[in-house]
């Protein structure tokens, strides 16, 4: 029987992986201890650490429907509306504990989407994808693994279908079928938390047509499978982490990372293949994953909590917390943040059971929620910068603060209230900078915009899911165009 890993065990489990990672043009031999990557590992570790705390147990763990064992909720298949609601609350909780992306949602959302689609393919074709999938799921649950769900292909020329691209690899595809499995080529972009994962699960990125059937493929592999390489992407202010552990990093413990993942002739054994050329199921898989993942942007509410807390703190340090405009802006930040919370709660509360037993969120409301996530954090961040004051972008470095020559001047001149150490003021400003301009802004702003689909993707879904005809019937009746309701 499996057990929940703790943070230390998780870290040790990563050390055993033989990942092929590159950054700044060099191979990273030891990602776990790399100063740029490590904060992102810490954030994933928080999903382990907090699952063991009694106060969070209800939210962070669940009972496996396969084994009846207690498992980390990130490996759980939602069995009820209550599960969906707890997922939203887990996102807010961890966002508020780490103030960054903790990277483990995407795997959870992939597992849940696959639980539905493998069942549906089998129902149509009598295949055994679902059986394979459940065996794999049990392995993940029992070993409490981190899976990264890999969806976004490079896409090349946006006006051409996958099979029509000049370079056939612009979408990941099957290039060879063997008796024991398949061989794939391609790449996945924007892969959050890739090098902190034990497993990588691949899905197609959009609806495939018959001509693109080689691109309709889904599978799972250990993250250090031969042929898989990771190139870590840059983030704003990433190299501050190389300056030593100074308060200029803002968030002293946590961060995120993104990677470009290359699949260079990678072999996948059949027992890890969950879709292979059943192109007519790609829409369902993509849309369900998207709906789950749009719900997952509950985490930004938690990051918003931290940003609000930091903003209230700097207001107090600056002695302006009772100015009416400051109080009003703090209310507004909360108004916007709780509006986001309403979205991720509502799409969960309105969830329903799919034929396979998995619970799915209300897809319209999940898209509406995510659309708000592409907007409101930007306004929250703007209000935070308003209250923080200009010092956030003009104050000297931590090295200057600690310098025997100029440190005294900084300490003297950046002091406000007598009981507030200047260093505290600088620390909280750096945290606000981190979330609104620095490494965490990548997650709080730009990834709020594009993660789980760019704004227009949600608008397309919304336009498809609203029932305009029903609304029109009501309007036509009320103004007398139609006599019948």
Spatial neighbors of 141 by CB under 8 A, at least 6 apart, are 2, 64, 66, 67, 69, 71, 75, 76
Query: Is 253 among the catalytic positions?
Result: no
Greatest Cα pair distance in the chain:
85
Among residue numbers 125 through 184, which ones bind a second copy (CB under 8 A)? 152, 154-159, 166-167, 169-170
204 or 451, CB closer to a second copy?
451
Residue from the set 129, 136, 289, 378 that interacts with a second copy by CB under 8 A: 378
Of the listed 11, 49, 199, 258, which one is catalytic?
258
Q: Candidates 124-132, 213-221, 258-266, 280-288: pick the segment binding a second copy (CB under 8 A).
A: 258-266
For 217, which DSSP code? E
Among residue numbers 185 through 244, which ones bind a second copy (CB under 8 A)? 187, 189-190, 229, 231-237, 239-240, 243
Nearest-angstrom CA–CA distance, 305 and 326:
17
From the CB of residue 177, how many other CB atoms can be counted at a distance below 10 Å? 12
CB of 143 to a second copy, least distance (A): 28
Among residue numbers 318 through 377, which ones bind a second copy (CB under 8 A)? 318-320, 323-325, 327-328, 330-331, 334-335, 338-339, 341-343, 345-350, 364-365, 368-369, 371-372, 374-375
Query: Is 105 among the catalytic positions?
Result: yes
Query: Is 258 among the catalytic positions?
Result: yes
350 or 354, CB closer to a second copy?
350
Nearest-angstrom CA–CA distance, 281 and 277:
9
Among residue numbers 310 through 329, which ones bind a second copy (CB under 8 A)? 310, 312-313, 318-320, 323-325, 327-328
Of the listed 173, 198, 257, 293, which one is catalytic?
293
Is position 70 an interface residue for a second copy (rule: CB under 8 A)? no
The residue among 134, 183, 144, 146 whose CA lies nearest residue 5 is 144
Is position 298 an interface residue for a second copy (rule: CB under 8 A)? no
- Which residues lie across from 353 on neighbouring strands? 359
Is position 260 an interface residue for a second copy (rule: CB under 8 A)? yes
Nearest-angstrom CA–CA distance, 482 and 485:
7
Is position 466 an interface residue for a second copy (rule: CB under 8 A)? yes
What is the residue-wise DSSP string for 407-437?
HHHHHHHT--STTS-HHHHHHHHHHHHHHHT
Opening angle at CA 177, ends 22 and 185, nearest 5: 25
Is position 34 an interface residue for a second copy (rule: CB under 8 A)? no
Catalytic amino acids?
Answer: 101, 105, 192, 258, 293, 297, 299, 447
């Amino acid at each position: 029987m499996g057990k929940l890993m703790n943070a230390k065990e998780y870290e040790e489990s990563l050390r055993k992986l033989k990942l092929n990672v590159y950054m700044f043009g060099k191979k990273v031999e030891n990602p776990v201890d790399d100063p740029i990557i490590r904060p992102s590992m810490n954030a994933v570790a928080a999903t382990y650490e907090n699952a063991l705390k009694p106060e969070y147990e209800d939210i962070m763990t669940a009972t496996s429907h396969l084994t009846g064992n207690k498992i980390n909720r990130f490996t759980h298949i939602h069995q009820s509306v209550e599960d969906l609601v707890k997922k939203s609350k887990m996102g807010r909780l961890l966002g508020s504990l780490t103030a960054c992306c903790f990277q483990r949602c995407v795997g959870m959302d992939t597992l849940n989407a696959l639980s539905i689609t493998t069942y549906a393919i089998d129902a149509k074709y009598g295949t055994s994808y679902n059986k394979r999938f459940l065996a794999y799921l049990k392995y993940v649950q029992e070993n409490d693994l981190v899976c990264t769900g890999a969806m976004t292909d490079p896409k090349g020329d946006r006006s051409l279908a996958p099979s029509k691209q000049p370079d056939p690899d612009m979408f990941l595809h099957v290039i060879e079928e063997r008796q024991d499995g398949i061989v794939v080529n391609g790449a996945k972009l924007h892969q959050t938390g890739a090098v902190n994962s034990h497993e990588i699960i691949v899905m197609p990125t959009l609806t495939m047509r018959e001509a693109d059937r080689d691109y309709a493929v889904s599978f799972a592999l250990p993250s250090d499978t031969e042929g898989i390489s990771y190139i870590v992407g840059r983030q704003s202010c990433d190299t501050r982490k190389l300056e030593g552990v100074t308060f200029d990093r803002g968030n002293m413990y946590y961060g995120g990372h993104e990677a470009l993942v290359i699949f260079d002739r990678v072999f996948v054994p059949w027992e890890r293949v969950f879709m292979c050329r059943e192109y007519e199921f790609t829409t369902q898989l993509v849309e369900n994953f998207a709906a789950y993942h749009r719900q997952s942007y509950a985490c930004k509410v938690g990051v918003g909590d931290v940003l609000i807390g930091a903003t209230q703190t700097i207001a107090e340090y600056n002695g302006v917390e009772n100015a009416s405009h400051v109080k009003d802006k703090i209310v507004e930040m909360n108004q916007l943040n709780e509006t986001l919370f309403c979205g991720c709660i509502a799409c969960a509360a309105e969830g329903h059971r799919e034929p396979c037993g998995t619970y799915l969120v209300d897809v319209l409301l999940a898209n509406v929620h995510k659309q708000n996530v592409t907007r409101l954090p930007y306004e929250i961040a703007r209000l935070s910068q308003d209250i923080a004051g200009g010092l956030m972008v003009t104050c000297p470095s931590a090295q200057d603060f600690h310098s025997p020559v100029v440190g005294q001047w900084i300490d003297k001149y950046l002091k406000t209230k007598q009981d507030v150490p200047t260093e505290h003021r600088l620390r909280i400003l750096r945290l606000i900078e981190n979330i609104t301009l620095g490494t965490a802004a990548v997650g709080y702003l730009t990834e709020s915009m594009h993660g789980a689909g760019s704004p227009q993707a949600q608008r397309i879904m919304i336009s498809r899911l609203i029932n305009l005809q029903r609304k029109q019937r009501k309007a036509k009746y009320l103004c007398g165009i139609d006599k019948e309701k």
